[in-house]
Amino acid sequence: MSDNDFFDYKAKYENQSTEITPARLSEVKTKNVETAAKLAYKVLKMSGFSRSEFIFIGEEPYMLEMNTTPGLTEQSILPQQAGAAGISLAQLFDSAIEEALRKNP
């Protein structure tokens, strides 16, 4: 959530926004966005970590972007989301390394 009209430089880098993790969504919105994100990941033949951003019109999510190189610092959104799911930063990195080794023995 941004204090500005847009999520601009100031909102992102000068603390003029609030990140809410996990997002406060209804069960219907949660189900809809999870379905859309999984479908996009599959259709785009993704692997590894990504972070998808959506807006809602009513209950329906619309994808804004899929970030294929999300930030991985403790302040970044992906690690915050992992933490909310009970996954530590170390576990997140271990998972990424193990997947890379499986694909590239």
* Domain locations along the chain: 9-103
9-103 fold = D-amino Acid Aminotransferase; Chain A, domain 1 (3.30.470)
Average pLDDT over residues 60-67: 94
Render pLDDT for 48-63 as a digit per residue (tens, 0 to 9).
888 899 999 999 999 9
Confidence of residue 86 (pLDDT cuts 50, 70, 90): very high
Model pLDDT, residue 47: 86
Question: Got the DSSP string for 30-95?
Answer: HHHHHHHHHHHHHHTT--S--EEEEEEETTEEEEEEEESS---STTSHHHHHHHHTT--HHHHHHH
Average pLDDT over residues 31-53: 93
Model pLDDT, residue 103: 82
How far CA 46 is from CA of 16, 49, 66, 98, in Å, comes to 32, 8, 10, 16
Confidence of residue 2 (pLDDT cuts 50, 70, 90): low
**Comparison of pLDDT for 44 and 70, the residue scoring more:** 44
